[in-house]
Structure 1
């Protein structure tokens, strides 16, 4: 189980001209997570922030358990 902001990203948010929030994901983190998923490990992402970018990145990596927009991450895990 892991968070996104500051774990899969450098923790910064960038905003486009239309106000859309952008995140930068590191490819090495992605490669490692993809290997874990391919090896049959269950990987889950729990994030306090809702983000279509997070959903897309998790889909690309094969992470099927994605919970977003929760303040109580420990409660969401249970």
Structure 2
């Protein structure tokens, strides 16, 4: 098993997926990921997002521990 935390592993795999999709001439969707802890952090994300994101974050946001601050789209943070 890897010594990396799940968040860092997810960022690495997502970056690889974005690179592969871009290399094939496709626009990756989703184009970025972010780990947030509360609904208050949603405003800082900017850009488009699905309409159900805020209710999901409100319901589950306080159940997880902090692990990452969002970085640029398509790049690990």
Higher share of residues assigned strand = 1
Please report the TM-score for the alignment, with normalisation by the length of structure 2: 0.30
Higher share of residues assigned helix = 2
Higher relative contact order (CA 8 A, sep 6+): 2
- Mark the structure with the bigger radius of gyration: 2
